[in-house]
Amino acid sequence: MTDNRARNRALSRHVLLPTIFLTVALLGGVRVTAGEGALVFVPPPLVALVLALMLLALFVRGRAVVVGAWLSAENATLANVSHALVLAALFFASAQSFNSVLPDAGLLRWMLSFFFLWTLWQNQFSAFDARRLLRSLVALFGTAFVVKHVLLASLDSQGGGWLSRLAGFALEGVTPGAQPLAPATGYISFFTLALYVCGLLLLPPAPDSSPVEGDAAGETERADELVEALRRLPPADRERVRAALADEARDSEEASPRVGRVATDE
């Protein structure tokens, strides 16, 4: 069982994760033009690279990626090269994920870019963990996906309803220069984002750990941080915290026999 677990981790680390992130990096720039149906590859703009760099900084800060474990002098040379390729694939996949949901031209592209920049910059100074970061990313990418592939696609469609005409009137002149895209672009973008999120779920904080073990390690680390913060409190505040914890424990002990009696009566 141990050998199977080690083999599965090695396959995930050296084969599955690079394949997922490289596929995302490839599909993130694919566009299908309306009418002709031609495939066009759009390289990531500079703002997408900046956003990807900020996102990787959040991964490191939230302990979703422990760089010291991925790239270490204790690892073999080939292992460090493989780990560096995985991290590079993660960077380019992040950049192409932003490229997939950002409009290709117009003022709305810069508005969404500023939205991403402001959110990621605010998260640099807030307390969070890997799970909260993943939920925040899903919300960010979901919002940008709806704006680009639902709202803007309805503006480009011919013979749209009253909602399309209302949105076109509200955003008139906001998206000049954008190339009309076929609906297939939205499906490709949705698949790209879903594949990117799956890759993040499979990405362990350290190469030799699973995502579940990484979450347990993060919980232990946060508990150690709470203990250290408690030690730094003044004696009076420390006693207040201890009294509150004692009251909570006493309430839990009083509630447990009551629940047991109710179950016995039933």
Distance from C-alpha of 251 to C-alpha of 84, rounded to nearest angstrom: 51
Q: Containing domain of residue 26, as a range?
A: 2-210
Over residues 173-188, the pLDDT tens digits come to 444 445 677 888 889 9
Query: How many Å apart are CA 49 and CA 85, to the nearest integer?
Result: 17
pLDDT at 160 over 60: no
CA angle 164, 166, 168 (to 5 degrees): 65
**Amino acid in position 18:** P
pLDDT for position 217? 47
**Partners of 260 in the β-ladder:** none
The answer on 248 and 138 residing in a single domain is no
84 and 179 part of one domain? yes
- More confident: 217 or 25: 25
Judged on CB neighbours under 10 Å (0-12, 13-18, 19+), 89 is: buried
141 and 34 in a single domain? The answer is: yes
**How many domains would you assign to the chain?**
2
The per-residue pLDDT for 255 is 56
Tens-digit pLDDT profile for residues 49-62: 999 999 999 898 88
CB count in 10 Å sphere of residue 203:
21
Residue 153's pLDDT is 67
Could you tell me if 247 and 124 lie in one domain?
no
Based on the fold, state whether residues 61 and 191 are members of the same structural domain.
Answer: yes
pLDDT tens-digit map of 7-54: 788 888 888 999 999 999 999 999 888 777 788 898 888 999 999 999
Q: What is the pLDDT of residue 95?
A: 94
162 shares a domain with 198: yes
Q: Which one-letter amino acid corresponds to residue 8?
A: N
Residue range 89-110: average pLDDT?
Answer: 87
Same domain assignment for residues 145 and 254: no
Q: What pLDDT is stored for residue 224 in this prediction?
A: 57
Whole-angstrom distance, CA of residue 7 vs CA of residue 4:
5
At 162 the pLDDT is: 52
Express as a percent the part of the chain with pLDDT over 70.
Answer: 73
Span 100-117, mean pLDDT? Answer: 83
Quote the pLDDT of residue 225: 58
Residues 6 and 120 in one domain: yes
Helices (H) and strands (E) in the chain, counts: 12, 2
Helix (H) or strand (E) holding 4: helix 2-11
* Dihedral sign from CA coordinates of 186, 191, 196, 197: positive
Q: Does residue 21 sit in the same domain as residue 38?
A: yes
The least confident of 109-123, 158-172, 193-207 is: 158-172
Same domain, 245 and 183: no
Out of 44-48, 119-123, 228-232, least confident range:
228-232
Q: Which of 210, 227, 248 is the last residue of a domain?
A: 210
- Other C-beta atoms closer than 10 Å to the C-beta of 144 total 22
CA-angle at 80, arms to 77 and 81, nearest 5°: 85
CA-based nearest residue to 178, from 78, 124, 110: 110
Give the predicted TM-score (pTM) of the model. 0.69
Per-residue confidence (pLDDT) for residue 87, from 0 to 100: 92
229, 256: one domain:
yes
Q: Are 93 and 141 in contact (CB under 8 A)?
A: no
Greater confidence (73 vs 228) lies with 73
Q: Are residues 234 and 194 in the same domain?
A: no
Is residue 221 a contact partner of residue 63, using CB atoms and an 8 Å limit? yes
For residue 162, how many other CB atoms are within 10 A of its CB?
A: 7
Mean pLDDT for the chain?
77
Listed in sequence order, the residues at least 6 apart from 153 whose beta carbon sits closer than 8 Å to its beta carbon are 181, 183, 186
Q: Which of 216, 221, 245 is nearest to 233 (CA)?
A: 245
